[in-house]
Amino acid sequence: MRTYAAIVLAVAAGCGDNLSPASETCEPAPGPVPAQGPFADPLALPLPEDCVIGGLRDLPGRWFLRAPEELFDFGYPLFEGSCTTGFRRANWIEEDLDTSDNSAFQTWSDGTRIYTRSYFVFEAPMGLFEFAEVSAVCMMPDGTLAGVSGTYDTDRGEQLTDLIGTRFAPRDTGARGLALVGEIGALTVAAFNVAVDGTYAYVVGPTGLEVIDVADPAEPMIVGHVMGDFNDVKIVRGGGKVVAYAAPSRSRDGTAIIDVTIPDAPAFVGTVPEYSHSVFVTATPPRLYLATYTSTVPVYDVTVPLSPVRLGGVPIIGTEAAGIHDIHVQGDRIYADKTTDGVVAVDVSAGLTQPVELGRLPTSYSHATWAGVAGGRQIAIHGDEGMTPEGGAFMRVLDADRASPTFMKEIGRYQSRTDVGIHNIQLVGDRAYIAYYQDGVRVVDLANPTQPREIAHFNTWDTAIGSGHPFEGALGITVVGDLIYVADSNRGLVILRATL
């Protein structure tokens, strides 16, 4: 992200003198503007000189809007309106110019540009603290969008980033090779991730943990709930207990220990006193691994699952700022997804504190890995997140055979399209199952790992109601037999069946 100098803002104040005219003027009544705070003037944001005057008549619809040089500055906004009513961002926060509650939200358009702004102000120990986010876009002569996004806070001041936009629509329609079996909507289940154990699915999200009876997957039923704000979940059995470990969404919280032995009476027991963004468990031996966004992987003995015992931490060498987002464990081998350091494979057979690095693969933002056998070869599938230099994230197929000359090298690659990133992945047999955000579920055949081939899909994202957040849609995925359990941020829990 770059900070504009004052001279750039001075030029921006005159933006519009050289705008390209549209064939007909589009001039809706623009309405009021904010009375206070940063970015209060919609005309002061630096848009290109060749914005089309009145060009917003062509704006309505879904767009892919991104900052070309930023991994995580992108979104999929839906715009609506007309030259008569004005234009606004659909499915966004309701208009609110009243700052008496210390916040305000604004959408404004004049037919040439559309401007959105959120603003917060409150008293802090050091005095008044303000925070604002803003964006403004206009139509270009070639039918694309150009714009700028900005943030301001009292500590860091103002930062602006250029944006470009292209039309966005579903990659394909309907489904192929996957059929809907059952679901529970997002109004009932807030779904970020899902684990399945026996006839129960455990779904976590910003409202807590839901225990769902899936004995009849066509009629899933919520039978238990534990309040919380969770990002990930895994299940362990031991000592006559069934326990869920839930990774918290907030970095100040520990990893939750939830007794789900009685499905309709789940109980929060306590926490592992360490934060985790993601968790991984193994059954033999019973172990819990935490991805903590640091350079160390804490490991716990969960033989007695209600009383985890810390065994140590596995150090993963690299840039300290590149914390570990996720992990996959296969025997004595740990694959650590170390964000901007890439994916790192280490062997811990000599002890947790003495890992031997086996290899690593630099990536834009290492997010998730799953190791196994496909096509008769030891492989690992790896997903980036965000926007890579090649466009949207993609799934790499890595050689995971330690004896191979191409160990930890990319031997194959699959990408749905350049506009969408990957969240979670799972390898089952010769197939990779991908929770692919706005592209729903994608199933990729890896019978020949060097030539990944998509063989099935199911679109879960509804382009009409999606908020346009960069990380929405299909997030979590767990495959059990021929059933695929999907945690979808807009749709809830979706249960699919493979039909191919």
pLDDT digits (tens, 9 = 90+) for 36-85: 789 999 999 999 999 999 999 999 999 999 998 888 999 999 999 999 99
What confidence score (pLDDT) does residue 86 get?
Answer: 92
Is the domain of 87 the same as that of 112?
yes
Within a domain: 1 = no
- Neighbouring CB atoms inside 10 A of 189's CB total 25
Same domain, yes or no, for 203 and 140?
A: no
Q: Is residue 25 part of a domain?
A: yes
Among 148, 167, 186, the domain boundary falls at: 167
For residue 437, the tally of other CB atoms under 10 A from its CB is 27
Same domain, residue pair 385 and 407: yes
In this prediction, residues 162-174 reach a mean pLDDT of 92
Which range marks the domain in which residue 237 is found?
175-498
Number of domains the chain contains: 2
Same domain? 191 vs 59: no
For residue 227, which of 206, 197, 241, 257 has the smallest C-alpha distance?
206
Distance of CA 129 to the CA centre of its chain: 29
Question: Which CATH number do you get for residue 402?
Answer: 2.130.10.10
**Residue 406 belongs to a domain:** yes
Q: Is residue 19 part of a domain?
A: yes
Residues 196, 268, single domain; the answer is yes
| Domain identity same for 180 and 228 | yes
Residue 112 lies in a domain: yes
pLDDT digits (tens, 9 = 90+) for 339-368: 999 999 999 999 999 999 999 999 999 999
Tell me: do 432 and 301 sit in the same domain: yes
Q: Is residue 56 part of a domain?
A: yes
Closest by Cα among 276, 287, 225, 226 to 247: 276
Segment among 81-85, 390-394, 414-418, 429-433 with least mean pLDDT:
390-394
- Whether 56 and 139 have beta carbons less than 8 Å apart is answered as yes
The verdict on residue 41 lying in a domain is yes
Same domain? For 109 and 188 the reply is no
When pLDDT is averaged across residues 122-133 and rounded to a whole number, the result is 84
Same domain for 157 and 210, yes or no, is no
Q: Does residue 95 have a pLDDT over 80?
A: no
User: Do 180 and 276 fall within a single domain?
Assistant: yes
Residues 161 and 194 placed together within one structural domain of the fold:
no
Same domain, 268 and 375: yes
Token pair, residue 29, equals 């009544």
Per-residue pLDDT of 174-206, as tens digits, reads 899 999 999 999 889 999 999 999 999 999 999
**Residue where a domain stops, chosen among 167, 201, 234:** 167
* Residues above pLDDT 70, as percent of the chain: 95
Which residue, of 167, 183, 201, is where some domain finishes? 167
State how far the Cα of 184 lies from the Cα of 203, in Å rounded to an integer.
Answer: 11
What is the structure's pLDDT at 496?
98
